Amino acid sequence: MIGIWIDKDAHLMHRYLEGARTDAGHDLHSTRRAMVVCSLTTMLGFGSLVTAQYQALSTLGWLTILWRGFCLIIFLCFLRTLLLYGKEIHG
């Protein structure tokens, strides 16, 4: 589950560092659509496990849907703020 979270953030940080740390808002905007689609397809793929008769697989499906949704909310709401805050601290 941690790996699912980190991949999205790593892509945004790479884009941010690649652009000489000029505008975190633009970097987030340029990667937002790809990250939303990535999250939704992962939620759909693992979400299909919810229909499994085996309880462990069904639970894994629910956990993945909830976790990926939580990661998406964090990505869309808080990551830009953290990048801007880090820029103010480090100049």
Quick: pLDDT tens for 51-71: 999 999 999 999 989 988 888
Dist CA 75 CA 69 (whole Å): 10
Q: Which residue matches tokens 């740390």?
A: 21
Q: Model confidence over 26-37: pLDDT tens digits?
A: 666 767 788 888
Percentage above 90 pLDDT, the chain: 20
Length of the chain, please?
91
